A and B are shown apart, each in its own frame.
Chain A
Amino acid sequence: MSQLVYLVPMFPLIGFLINGLGRNVLPKPLVGIIGSAALLASFVVSLLIFNEVRTPGFSAVTVNLFDFIHVGKLNVPFAFQVDQLSVLFLLIITGVGFLIHVYSTSYMHDESPSSYARYFAYLNLFVFSMLLLVLGSNYVIMFIGWEGVGLCSYLLIGFWFKNADYNYAARKAFVMNRIGDLAFLIGIFWIFAQFGSVNYADVFSQARPGASAHVLTGITLLLFIGATGKSAQIPLYTWLPDAMAGPTPVSALIHAATMVTAGIYMIARSNVLYSLAPATQGVIAVIGLCTAILAASIAIQQNDIKKVLAYSTVSQLGYMFLGLGVGAYTGAVFHVMTHAFFKALLFLGAGSVIHAMGGEQDIRKMGGLRKFMPVTSITFLIGCLAIAGIFPFAGFFSKDEILSRAYAHNPVLYVIGILGALMTAFYMFRLYSLTFAGKFRGTHDQEHHLHESPAAITIPLIVLAVLSVVGGWVGIPEFMAPNAHVLSKFLEPVFANSHVAAPPGEIAASTEWALTIGSLVLIIGFCTWGYMKFKNFTLAEVKESTGLAKILENKWYVDELYDAIIVKPINWIAGFLNNVVEKLGIDGLVNGVGKLVQYGSRQIRLLQSGQVGIYVLLMVIGIVVLFVLQLFFPNLI
């Protein structure tokens, strides 16, 4: 079965081609069916492959499709790697992706047929790229998927391209990603230069402890910079909140199933390299933690329902990087999985709300939606509980695993991490409270139109809600029930090498119990605080915020900071280059060369007189000169 892995990305590709090429002829229902069916088929194949990979003793399989690049020493096969890690991602991407597709059939229903088809074509291409990214058996294939994901995010964020702001957002996402991509690309070059290959198997088998530590540090840092672009970490995270310009299901896709998890995947995949580069790991842990705290603090003061969720994603990604930084690869991947469930749930729930509110996204103008939209409300609540990390919802287990490993690494990391988790609990319940609790604060007209969303929207919500509850049970920590961490066993072969290189620290079960219960109590407290504080919120309370609140509302002025220290100087330099260097220097040079060529052409042309006698004479002169040169001055040049 694993030999058929190429089917997984093939279905979305076919879907993309059909929908993309037939966008002007296919009827809308058919487009939706094709788009969703492609994902469903991929999901089924992934399940079958998973079934094979699940058996104990399965070792990674490489499926060679064809020779992609073969130049000199560089040999890049177009090959897929099937192992525990890639299969897990396959399931997340195709499973959650399928639900999002189904959801989209209803959510995007107001679009014209051709742009509806365009939407689904992009969506399928997006999934295809992501599948390529996780399936590739070398860094080049991963990079192709990586770029494809970047492209699709650009296309989808700017899907409503008639709005200039949305285009700016799309461009910002693209540029931010390109900065990261450059570093990633240089990293790949360096890997090739160092190991003579870009295949995972070759690279990882050659990476040994003590071997050129500074080189490994350099490579891993470059790869990590690439990851900060895709996975929205400091300093390249600012595109993700702006990416809310795209349709809400796209946000769900970007945040939950694809794109932002690419960076996590890449580092988890390269875990062998990272385990040998502790300096990089330290950087990752610190950056991840800073991002987690910074984004969480911003989320507290945001009023746009999608912006809150966006910053919460940035924050959760920070936790994943913290996990990668402290060597908790399983924990990070675990969190990717649970996060995919509840973040997709939250976004799709938010989409449902926005749908019902007729496009309104300001949570201050919502409230009391609980009685209008019971399914959305309950599933959203489950999502909030899961992200806040309340037992026994999915987020609890994964976050707990990362934080306990952080504790084993350094208690300071743990304390700051908990601080972020408390903020998460607070802002999520602020969001829930403002949206669903209290009284409705919108216009009368809006209230009239409030309704529960259709089945195509609610069913994915319910499925995701169930997953958000049970999804964490595959990773029950050791101290609660011995040998119950199924996921860790499953992923063991992938991370075995790095566990040898950098064995995970151990902490006593009693300490774990104490930490877990203590943090759980605090989190529940913050949840309640957040909920109660905003339950009876009225629009009258809205006033100009001051001090810290204002800073938070303006997202720590990071965008403005980037503008001042990067964009403005670059603009100035570009202006200088354009007006002075280009106009005077390069144009002069280029035009000069052009003129010279034309002049030479005019002169040489005259040699061609059309008279045979002259031709032969010139030939004889040529022969004589060449003879003299070759026979008497053979070493002239």
Chain B
Amino acid sequence: MNVLILSIFWGIVMMFSGIALKKKGIATGLAIAGVLILLLGNLGDMSTVVITTSTFNDMLAFRGYNVLFISIVLVATLMYFLVSGREIENVGTGGFDYYALIFFVLTGIVIASSFNNLLMLFLGIEIISIPLYILTGSDKKNLKSNEASLKYFLMGSFSTGIMLLGIAFIYGDSGSLAIVPAPSPFGFSFTSLPTLSAVGALLLMFSLAFKVSAAPFHFWTPDVYDGAPTVFTSFMATIVKAGTFIAFFRMFAGGFASVQGSWGLAMQVIIFLTLLIGNLTAVFQQSAKRMMSYSSIAQAGFMLLAIYAHNDMAKEGFLVYTAAYVLATIGVFALLSRVADPGFQGFNGLAKKEPLLAATTTICLLSLAGIPLTGGFLGKYYMLVATAKAGGPFWLVIFAVICAAISIYYYFRLIIAMYFKEGNPEMAPVSRGLKFWLVVLCVLILALGIFPYEVLLNNLLSL
């Protein structure tokens, strides 16, 4: 509750600071202060120190898992601001406005991670999406950015329509918009839904799959990620993705969990396609930025496994995976947004010029590839075990492992370019503060891989 109110409030504060304060340089500081306040508020949510106990007629629920998830998102946002603050200020004209939009996205994420009602789901997803259309097109002078924004908007509205249709179907069939009237959702005590609701659930799944860029609804992702200013691509690929994923998770691993008969097969197909297309296409990319956008599709495939499995292991693993993926991706994009040439050849010989930056990026890439000792490994491990434990199709687990192996190929291309190729990459100057925070980021990733309980999961037990 605190975070919801505070994030709106801080968004407005950022808006007006842009008008009142002409100096752009303090925007980042103000935003960081805002995230810290949000984190404090979230701490309050964890320990029931709240501004108001209202739950909007049970439409939102702030407890346990969601709150922990929100804190992951907030910590990731903090790291994102610390690492990319300068870049955000340098895009377009209004650093403050972009920060305000980011805070509004956070509001959306808070709603999307704590909704108890389909209406709130819709609201959350839309509050996330609309600022993103603007952020995508924020580089107004750049045609590619404009094109990406328009494409994103068009296709995003398409998926929004699908989502509304799905909600309408469900409402029409069950007469209720609430998602968790336990023990069985919508009062159905079967393992599958009646046809109308099933159609609604599938439509809902397709639109959410669109938002998390799962195949075959992923087509917008590469174009939009490529066209958007790199620093906002980083935001979209990490924090926003996590925020939409929690909505997906809450809807299908929570509300629809007991009626998997109605959506299990479609989900399997989506996971399979996402893993296949994400990993295969990433192999052939010539631009690291585009490779990262396919990698984000591929990683989504793994995260979908948690939704499919939806057992306790999956719940734990989903947190670990999200945290590891988000942090590592922020780390990689921090370098990407500073290199002049986003193609692989633009990284040649970077290890000689910026050894520390190359090292942190390598750790992040290793985590993404799922090499042991990193959080990414643990996340992948959790996903696979959870799926196996849920009795999930064995072939899917094997296929996921193969895809993880393929992913090593394209992640290591970047490492090879940095360490084993000769060249003199052009890049923006890198401040000491950035290096420091990148090291902190890597320490977090490693700590997550080695002490997952101490860093993260023990909180889950205490909530």
Contact = CB atoms under 8 A, between A and B. Distances in A.
Contacts of A70: 453
Interface in A578-637: 597-598, 600-602, 604-605, 607-608, 610, 612, 615-616, 618-619, 621-623, 626-627, 629-631, 633-637
Contacts of A605: 281, 284-285
Contacts of B151: 612, 615
B216 A619 contact: yes
Q: Which of A598, A608, A635 has the largest number of chain B CB atoms within 10 A? A: A608
Contacts of A598: 283-284
Contact of B266 (A602, A604, A626): A626
Q: Which of B220, B281, B453 has the largest number of chain A CB atoms within 10 A? A: B281
A631 B202 CA distance: 10
A607 B219 contact: yes
B277 interface: yes
B268 A637 contact: yes
A604 B276 CA distance: 10
Contacts of A623: 162, 206
B199 interface: yes
B288 to A, nearest CB: 16
B210 A619 contact: yes
A506 interface: no
B261 interface: yes
B275 to A, nearest CB: 12
B158 interface: yes
A544 interface: no
Contact of A634 (B262, B270, B277, B406): B262
B263 A608 contact: no
Interface in B426-455: 453-454
Grouping DSSP codes into helix (H, G, I), strand (E, B) and loop, the B interface class, with mixed when no group exceeds half, is helix
Given A608-B222, A636-B265, A631 B210 contact: no
A629 B263 CA distance: 10
A634 B195 CA distance: 12
Interface residues of A, number: 30
B17 interface: no
A110 interface: no
A597 B275 CA distance: 13
Contacts of B283: 597-598, 601
Given A598-B284, A604-B277, A619 B199 contact: no
A67 interface: yes
Contacts of A627: 199, 202, 266
A602 B281 CA distance: 7
A623 B215 CA distance: 11
Interface string B382-421: 0000000000010100000000001001000000000000
Contacts of B215: 622
B217 interface: yes
Contacts of B265: 629-630, 633-637
A624 B198 CA distance: 14
Nearest to A613: B154
B87 interface: no
A609 to B, nearest CB: 9
Nearest to B158: A616
A627 B454 CA distance: 43
B264 interface: yes
A629 B393 contact: no
A503 B264 CA distance: 63
Given A608-B223, A623-B206, A629-B265, A616 B284 contact: no
B223 A601 contact: no
B49 interface: no
B216 A600 contact: no
B48 interface: no
B280 interface: yes
Contacts of A604: 276-277, 280-281
B264 A634 contact: yes
A612 B150 CA distance: 10
A593 B226 CA distance: 29
B345 interface: no
A616 B155 CA distance: 7
Contacts of B202: 626-627, 630-631
B284 A601 contact: yes
B192 interface: yes
B447 to A, nearest CB: 13
Contacts of A619: 155, 158, 210, 216-217, 219
B33 interface: no
A608 B281 contact: yes
A387 B269 CA distance: 74
Contacts of A621: 216
B192 A626 contact: no
Contacts of B217: 619, 622
Contact of B270 (A67, A610, A615, A626): A626
A605 B281 CA distance: 6
B453 A637 contact: no
A631 B453 contact: no
Nearest to B219: A615
Interface string A133-150: 000000000000000000
22 contacts: A67-B454, A604-B280, A605-B285, A607-B219, A608-B222, A608-B281, A612-B155, A619-B155, A619-B217, A621-B216, A622-B215, A623-B162, A626-B206, A630-B202, A630-B265, A631-B195, A631-B198, A631-B199, A633-B265, A634-B192, A634-B265, A637-B395
Interface of A: 67, 70, 597-598, 600-602, 604-605, 607-608, 610, 612, 615-616, 618-619, 621-623, 626-627, 629-631, 633-637
Interface of B: 151, 154-155, 158, 162, 192, 195, 198-199, 202, 206, 210, 215-217, 219-220, 222-223, 261-266, 268-270, 276-277, 280-285, 393, 395, 406, 409, 453-454
Given A605-B285, A612-B154, 19 more contacts: A601-B280, A601-B283, A604-B276, A605-B284, A607-B277, A608-B219, A612-B151, A616-B154, A619-B219, A622-B206, A622-B216, A622-B217, A626-B206, A626-B269, A627-B202, A634-B192, A634-B265, A635-B265, A637-B265
The 4 A-B pairs of least Cβ separation, nearest first, read: A622-B216, A615-B219, A601-B284, A601-B283
